[in-house]
């Protein structure tokens, strides 16, 4: 995964090994530090971002239900971005609250929001390998997005079935996505489709701020084979 933020100029490139390491550490944080169990619901109040992708797969690793833009009041854990309105909404969660600064290179908050743990502080000390305490059942709920619930098996099956529509033909394919993560289409183009087919993704936040010339150069430089925007 390669991530761009066209509001800040950030570019982050994550190899498979590096991305998997972030997922393992985050899954260990969920399981060992936050006591999340299969079936628990994690509300993700996060934009399309490489760290959001990490949280989605960490939830899947544990067997928790990742609820994109879900109601914090009925969630066991809430994960919020740094925006004041997102943090305020997250305070409705009576369980653990994690805040992400979404700064370049996974940087910390200069000052941690009151009532939250800073993800960038908590995750580095977690283990680099993850083993779930209980096997994850692929038929159980795994994802809620735009009010629709998916099991883990449904996520995989649908991602594979729709891959050709996205231009994902297998390893070597590289899709650029500027879609938000608040719909299935955005999640599929920006994460699940590439993952299910062995392809890679160039995930762009605030893509509307990039001009046509910048976008054309990015598509060429990143060897993009398909786009979703």
State residue 106's pLDDT score.
85
From CA 39, how far away is CA 65, in angstroms rounded?
6
From CA 20, how far away is CA 3, in angstroms rounded?
15
From CA 111, how far away is CA 187, in angstroms rounded?
31
Helix (H) / strand (E) containing 19: helix 16-28
Strands (E), 124-199: 141-145, 148-151, 174-177
Strands (E), the chain: 2-5, 10-13, 41-45, 65-68, 77-80, 96-99, 117-118, 141-145, 148-151, 174-177, 200-205, 226-228
- Residues 2-228, CATH architecture: 3-Layer(aba) Sandwich (3.40)
What is the widest separation between alpha-carbon atoms in the chain? 50
- With a cut of 50, list the residues of the chain below it in pLDDT: none
State residue 105's pLDDT score.
82
State residue 28's pLDDT score.
98
Please, what sign has the CA dihedral across residues 6, 53, 72, 101? negative
User: pLDDT, tens digit, for every residue of 179-221?
Assistant: 999 999 999 999 999 999 999 999 999 999 999 999 999 999 9
The pTM of this model reads 0.97
From CA 119, how far away is CA 114, in angstroms rounded?
13
Domain chopping of the chain, boundaries? 2-228
Could you tell me which residues come within 8 angstroms of residue 178 by beta carbon, excluding any fewer than 6 positions away?
204, 205, 207, 208, 227, 228, 229
- Assigned token pair, 130: 């993850």
State residue 42's pLDDT score.
98
């Amino acid at each position: 995964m390669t991530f761009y933020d066209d509001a800040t100029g950030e570019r982050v490139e994550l190899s498979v090994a590096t991305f998997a390491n972030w997922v393992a550490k985050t899954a260990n944080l969920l399981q060992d530090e936050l006591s999340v169990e299969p079936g628990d619901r994690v509300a993700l109040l996060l934009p399309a971002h490489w760290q959001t992708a990490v949280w989605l797969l960490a939830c899947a690793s544990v067997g928790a239900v990742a609820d994109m833009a879900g109601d914090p009041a009925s969630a066991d854990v809430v994960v919020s971005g740094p925006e004041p309105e997102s943090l305020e909404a997250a305070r409705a969660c009576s369980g653990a609250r994690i805040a992400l600064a979404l700064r370049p290179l996974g940087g910390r908050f200069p000052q941690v929001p009151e009532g939250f743990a800073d993800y960038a502080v908590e995750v580095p000390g977690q283990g680099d390998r993850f083993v779930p305490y209980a096997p994850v059942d692929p038929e159980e709920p795994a994802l809620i997005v735009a009010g629709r619930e998916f099991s883990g098996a449904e996520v995989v099956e649908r991602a594979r079935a729709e891959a050709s529509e996205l231009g994902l033909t297998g390893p070597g394919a590289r899709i650029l996505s500027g879609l938000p993560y608040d719909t299935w289409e955005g999640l599929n183009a920006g994460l699940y489709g590439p993952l299910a087919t062995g392809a890679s993704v160039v995930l762009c936040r605030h893509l509307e701020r990039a001009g046509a010339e910048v976008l054309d150069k990015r598509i060429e430089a990143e060897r993009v084979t398909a786009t979703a925007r």
